Structure 1
Amino acid sequence: MSILKKDIKFNNGLSIPQMGLGTYKLTNKEEIVESIHAALKTGYRHIDTAVIYKNQKLVGEAIKSSGVRREDIFITSKIWNDSHGYNESKQEIDLILKELDVEYIDLILVHWPTPKRLECWKALEEAVQEGKVKSIGVSNFLIEHLEELLKVAKIKPVINQFELHPALTCKKLVNYCNANDIVVESWGTLIRGKCFEIDQIKELAKKYQKSEAQVCLKWAQKNNFVIIPKSSSQKRVIENANIDDFDLTTQDLELLATIVEQRDGPDPANFDF
């Protein structure tokens, strides 16, 4: 099955397209329109944004002008750290709806595990009951954060989005999420471009006549992770989805496992909130 046709089921019975378009650091109107229109034309049906990206209004406008029906597009957003208080979270949920100019959001995440994360979760649960949000999840949560949340949550998180790539496999966290029926979503799958510098990835790219980015995305696909690569280039948006015509062998995966571990983004265990 083409990755653009593959959905991954949530624990609430709903599902998410495995392949999505990330919009982090996309703030130029022309770039956003070109990227989103190219993605939707190619067959993407999942767009990932966040309040802190400061592009939700432009993302919403690009979706509307694409010609693809709203109900056919899965939209993810996230509540930023300074709005995790209960009242602030409720206000931010309404802001997300307003900026994207939609009646509901498919998925909203708690962006980082701040000290007020449980207050934010309560507001998200109420938003589900009010019909403003279809599904709720978390981002950058470690096992201890998930354990704390699961003890008090009335609605179980459907997904955990965190830095995850061949150089940072997070096996314990991935296994915990799988065991608790929480979908795993990878951000930074391309190691923020550093994949082009890693010998093991370069070797497999040459072997399969694919780009280093495609090798990383294939790795994530094989692990059944949701992936949201970002690109402002129409060519790259199309290329990132073109990973159905090759596969990684057991030996290939063993080679990737020899990459020295490196975290490119902030560490959730030592994040300055």
Structure 2
Amino acid sequence: MQYLRLNDGHEVPLLGFGTYKATEQEGIASVENALANGYRLIDTAAKYENEEQVGKGMILSGIPRADIIVTTKLWRENLGYAETKQAFAQSLEKLGLAYIDIYLIHWPANAKNYADWKQANADAWRAMEELQAEGKIRTIGVSNFWPEHLDALLETATVVPAINQIEFHPGYWQPEVLSYCREKGIAIESWSPLARGKVFGNPVLEAIAARHGKTVSQICLRWVIQHGVIVIPKSTSLARIVENSAIFDFELAATEMEEINTLPEMGFSGELPNIWPDRATIK
């Protein structure tokens, strides 16, 4: 396993485990299996409705709590100071933990959904800074923030976000956001690293995989971490969980990295932080 040092001094593995859509008993088993096979960074969110399952999987794994880095997220409709404190307390209770390692704003407020989107983000961030100062959160960060949202947040923030989790995969990897965050010392974390399954069958990726004796999934995950980006693939299949971890015994050549960098758009979720869907009532 390789690690990345964040701007707050904490280290996180470059490879983590995503739990989106992993609910009920399947969710518990997937977390237990991931931890049993060497994963130590587990990613969930209030919106995934599986925080309880993640907490149970951690207990069943037998891995000491101090060795596990847990990420969860504040949903975009709960932005604001009091709302953040309440949502955090609920996540903490569902996970069954005394503290959360990484807490992220899941999506920024925007002008379509908040009368004062800058203030909504700032208020949520102020609450998170206080929770961090109290020792209830180790690392605070954001998700799906573009430079315009980060610029606004940094006008009032006293703590620079340590992480920005964004959609990042072959065919849609947002190099402008990556460059901006690097300048600010903010680590990038990739969600949907396999482009919603659209990478499978791609001839460029298949050719690179054949050269290395690896799968297309492993090539994509390796490409992400060679960008210096944290990656959190999700799976409930034990075989795939093990396969996804076997990405530290080879390296992509610079020419192969560029081949993947220049692939045409594919697998884009269509989710954009400045136009996420309208609310019935603007806050």
The yes-or-no answer on 1:159 pairing with 2:163 is yes
Partner residue of 2:6 out of 2, 6, 10: 10
Corresponding residue of 2:138: 134
Mind listing any 5+ residue stretches in structure 2 that lack a counterpart?
A: 110-116, 279-283
Give the distance between the partners of 2:207 and 2:166, measured in 1 at CA: 26
List aligned pairs for 1:39-58, cutoff 5 A: 39-58=34-53
The yes-or-no answer on 1:111 pairing with 2:106 is yes
Contact 1:163 1:265 in 2 (8 A): no
Contact 1:103 1:132 in 2 (8 A): yes
Deviation at 1:62, TM superposition (A): 0.8
Contact 1:111 1:138 in 2 (8 A): yes
Contact 2:7 2:186 in 1 (8 A): yes
Give the distance between the partners of 1:268 and 1:207, measured in 2 at CA: 37
Stretch of structure 1 that moved more, 50-59 or 254-263: 254-263
Stretch of structure 1 that moved more, 106-115 or 251-260: 251-260
Deviation at 1:265, TM superposition (A): 4.3
Partner residue of 1:77 out of 72, 81, 84: 72
List aligned pairs for 1:185-200, cutoff 5 A: 185-200=189-204
AA matched with 1:104: Y
The yes-or-no answer on 1:271 pairing with 2:268 is no
TM-score w.r.t. length of structure 2? 0.91
Report Cα offsets for 1:115-136 as digits up to 9, x if no partner: 2222211111111112111110
The total of aligned residue pairs comes to 268
The yes-or-no answer on 1:22 pairing with 2:18 is yes
Give the distance between the partners of 1:214 and 1:250, measured in 2 at CA: 17
Report Cα offsets for 1:75-100 as digits up to 9, x if no partner: 00000012112111100111111000
Residue 246 of structure 1 aligns to a residue whose secondary structure is coil
Corresponding residue of 2:27: 32
Corresponding residue of 1:258: 262
Deviation at 1:193, TM superposition (A): 1.2
Mind listing any 5+ residue stretches in structure 1 that lack a counterpart?
A: none
Partner residue of 1:233 out of 237, 241, 251: 237
Report Cα offsets for 1:169-201 as digits up to 9, x if no partner: 211110111111001111111112111032211
Residue 118 of structure 1 aligns to a residue whose secondary structure is helix
RMSD of equivalent CA atoms: 1.2
Corresponding residue of 1:224: 228
Give the distance between the partners of 1:257 and 1:93, measured in 2 at CA: 37
Give the distance between the partners of 2:125 and 2:202, measured in 1 at CA: 38
Give the distance between the partners of 2:239 and 2:183, measured in 1 at CA: 37
Give the distance between the partners of 1:189 and 1:134, measured in 2 at CA: 25
Partner residue of 1:62 out of 41, 53, 57: 57
Residue 223 of structure 2 aligns to a residue whose secondary structure is helix
AA matched with 1:140: N
Contact 2:33 2:61 in 1 (8 A): no
Contact 1:34 1:234 in 2 (8 A): no
Contact 1:21 1:48 in 2 (8 A): yes
